[in-house]
Amino acid sequence: MTSGPRIVVTGLGVVTALGADRETFWKNLLEGRSGISEVQSFDTSAYSVHRGGEIHDFEPERHLERLVPERTGRASQLAAAAARGAVEDAGLTSGAPRVPPPERIGVVMGTTSGEPREVERFDDAFVNDDVGAVGAELVERYPNHVIAGHVAAELDLAGPNVMIPTACAAGNYAVAWAYDALRFGRADAMLAGGADAFSRITYTGFARLGAIAPERCQPFDRNRQGMIPGEGAAVLVLETEERARTRGAEIYAEVAGYGLSCDAHHMTAAHPEGEGAARAMVAALAGAGIDPGDVGYVSAHGTGTPTNDKLETIALRRVFGDRTSRVPVSSIKSMLGHTMGAASAIEALVCSLAVRDGRIPPTIDFDEPDPECDLDVVPNEARETPVEWAMNNAYAFGGNNASVLFRRWVA
């Protein structure tokens, strides 16, 4: 669909292990810092792995004005903090000039797990035969839609409120939903993002699958050992170009197109020929009206597992052909770990900054190329080069694939 208003990014907010504001985060990312550390939020002595991308210094009371942290799950806290950052960045705080009324500002968020710590609390009581004291939180605080709800409650937003829990592709899905909603006139501005909190449940699951690396997350490296679970949140403010101009808002980038597809193949393993992933990329390119050759940067899903990175390379090759080895493809999961439903939202934020600044974040801890992943992974050091089009790819359990294209904005 090429007709219709252009959709632009006017605000960015983020909470990660590498910073709880856009500037700090971007600086740390470009310096190739690692946000991976020893897990502290629960006891990992019964596990064979102990590293994670936890945020150790998040102080919700420093970010939240309406929500009460004690009554709000962690993913919601991270989401609301990132959202407040985005809204302030966009100049959309109430009282600022030409801000749409609250009922015309909506929220769409993605997540993988919702608020799993609420289930953990319940389970701790359950196994101690104490379930009579718990349960309400499963209804009031666990269901994933409370994340988008809490963002709206924190910022007093009354527009469409949507939760898209499509696991590790969710952030891209949220951006895609916002894109269409704005073009249909369902809102004047949309907050779109993703959030996930570190949890014992998620860590146990990936550990049980043998998917967690013992030390580092090394996407596309020949000796990569796996992924490292992390946490975080990112929120983008999206508007039509016309509204952004009317408000005099600064524009980071344009959301130029997206593609969604489903593998329909396996719950936890991607299609062996990268077919679904390729379809999502092709649809995004078609939506933006460009060729693969126009793409200047790919923010990869790049989890660091032997399988994902190999299959992702196959998918990229299907789309980019001979050019594949010449397109910069980096994975910031090397620095943050896999932040689950937040990942593609954080990466969308990164793409917006990449096209604005002409800077590409590196894939760090890259020691040895893998012939099966013969990509330019922007190893270890950020690169300075103009980027006109950036593609953000994300792949999820359940076979959900999503690609979003960002374009440099020229005023």
Partner 1 sequence: MTGTRKIRVAVTAAGVLSPLGHTAHDLFEALLEGRSAVGPLTAFEVSGKLHPRAVQLPEEDPERWLQGKNLRPLDRPGRLAAAAARLALGPEDDEEEDELRAQIGLVLGTMFGSVHTVSKFDRRALTHGPQYSKPFDFANSVINAAAGQTAIWHRLAGVNATIGGGAAAGAQALAYGADLIRAGRAEILLAGGAEELCFESFHGFAQAGLSCTNGGVAVPLHARRSGFVPGEGAALLQLESEASATQREVPILGWLAGSGTSFDPSRGQDPDRAADAVRRAVEAALADAETDPEGIDALAVSASGSPAVDRAEARGLGAALRDRAATVPVTAVKGALGEGLGASGAFQATVLLEAFRRHMLPGTVGLDEPESDLPLKQAGVSPREGAFRCGLVTASSWDGNACALVLEAP
The piece of 69-77, 125-133, 320-328, 369-377 that touches partner 1 (CB under 8 A) is 125-133
Print the SS3 string covering 84-132: HHHHHHHCCCCCCCCCCCHHHEEEEEECCCCCHHHHHHHHHHHHCCCHH
Distant-in-sequence, close-in-space partners of 132: CB < 8 Å, separation ≥ 6: none
The piece of 201-209, 221-229, 303-311, 380-388 that touches partner 1 (CB under 8 A) is 201-209
Q: Is 96 an interacting residue with respect to partner 1 (CB under 8 A)? A: no
Q: Which residues from 266-285 bind partner 1, rule CB under 8 A? A: 266-268, 276
The piece of 26-34, 126-134, 344-352, 379-387 that touches partner 1 (CB under 8 A) is 126-134
Strand bridging mode 389-395 / 37-38: unpaired
Least Å distance between CB 411 and partner 1? 24
Q: Is 59 an interacting residue with respect to partner 1 (CB under 8 A)? A: no
Annotated active-site residue 50? The verdict is no
Annotated active-site residue 168? The verdict is yes
Is-contact 248 14, C-beta < 8 A?
Answer: no
Q: Is 135 an interacting residue with respect to partner 1 (CB under 8 A)? A: yes
The piece of 176-184, 306-314, 327-335, 376-384 that touches partner 1 (CB under 8 A) is 176-184
What phi, psi does 162 have (nearest 5°)? -135, 140
Listed residue (192, 194, 253, 174) closest to 6, CA to CA: 253
Query: Using CB under 8 A, which of 61, 242, 264, 380 touches partner 1?
Result: 264
Query: Which residue type, as a one-letter code, is found at position 233?
Result: A
Query: Using CB under 8 A, which of 6, 50, 145, 222 touches partner 1?
Result: 145
Q: Is 127 an interacting residue with respect to partner 1 (CB under 8 A)? A: yes
Query: Using CB under 8 A, which of 92, 234, 260, 364 touches partner 1?
Result: 260
Buried b (16+ CB within 10 A) or exposed e, 274-305: bbbbbbbbbbbbebbebebeebbbbbbbbbbb
- For 212, the token pair is 């967690």
Q: Which residues from 301-320 bind partner 1, rule CB under 8 A? A: none
Nearer to partner 1, 29 or 290 (CB): 290
Q: Which residues from 342-401 bind partner 1, rule CB under 8 A? A: 396-400
Q: Measure Cα distances from 182 to 9, 15, 159, 225, 337 in Å.
A: 12, 25, 12, 41, 32
Partners of 407 in beta bridges: 254, 389
Of residues 168, 217, 351, 373, which has the active-site annotation?
168
Residues catalogued as catalytic: 168, 301, 338
